[in-house]
Structure 1
Amino acid sequence: MYILKCSDGSYYTGSTVDLERRLSEHEAGMAANYTKKRLPVQLVYFERFANIGEAFRREKQVQGWSRNKKEALINGNFNELIRLSKSKSSAIGKE
């Protein structure tokens, strides 16, 4: 699972079995349409998994996160990540 920062400041989250190849595809504009329109891209975070299924599940989890939560993960700010997770679950309980 990886996160790219795009030229417009947005983040793209993906998963792959070969990170180097996939980054080359993104940089060449031969990967996702989202990144093709926002070149150049920069790898800002990645996690390795034993299999692509685990990576894909993590990708889908992170894609659902807010920008602030993604930035806490990217920056290794796990206290902020926990705080942001708790604040969302607290808000859900108040509805």
Structure 2
Amino acid sequence: MWSLYVVQTRFGHWYTGISTDVTRRFSEHQAGTGAKNLRGKGPLTLIFQQQIGSRSAATKLEIKVKRLTKAQKREYVNSAQHAIKTQLNQADE
């Protein structure tokens, strides 16, 4: 299962990526062995992750999210988190 994730740098910049194991990939980023874009910009914070499914679907979504402005990315992350909370609340009922 592929997931989309968003990492925030100490400078407040957001990095978007995909992985089959977000925990492992985030550890690689923190160790400086992940994306060159994040090296030396820690501490890093994993602020969002979302299971997508296939690699193809995850890649397509990653491209779309990377093209968004930071404000649009925040809106996407907030709306996705809200949808997850709503689903959890409905499951509890």
The alignment yields a C-alpha RMSD, in angstroms, of 1.6
The whole-number CA distance in structure 1 between the counterparts of 2:11 and 2:44 is 9
The aligned residue for residue 93 of structure 1 is none
Normalization by structure 1: what TM-score?
0.75
Larger radius of gyration: 1
Distance of 1:49 and 1:74 partners within structure 2: 14
Relative to the length of structure 2, the TM-score reads 0.77
1-10 vs 49-58, which deviates more? Answer: 49-58
Distance in 2 separating the partners of 1:73 and 1:37: 27
Alignment pair present for 1:61 and 2:82? no
What runs of 5+ residues in structure 2 fail to find an aligned partner?
A: 82-93
Runs of 4+ deviating beyond 2 Å: 74-78
Aligned residues: 78
Task: Give the aligned partner of residue 19 of structure 1.
Answer: 22
**Partner residue of 1:3?**
6
* CA apart distance, 1:47: 1.2
Q: Deviations over 1:33-92 (max 9, x none)?
A: 1111311111111110221221111111000000100111222289xxxxxxxxxxxxxx
Structure 1 distance, partners of 2:53, 2:25, is 17
Aligned to 1:33: 36
**Relative to 1, partners in 2 of residues 1:77 and 1:32: Cα closer, same or farther, differing over 3 Å?**
closer
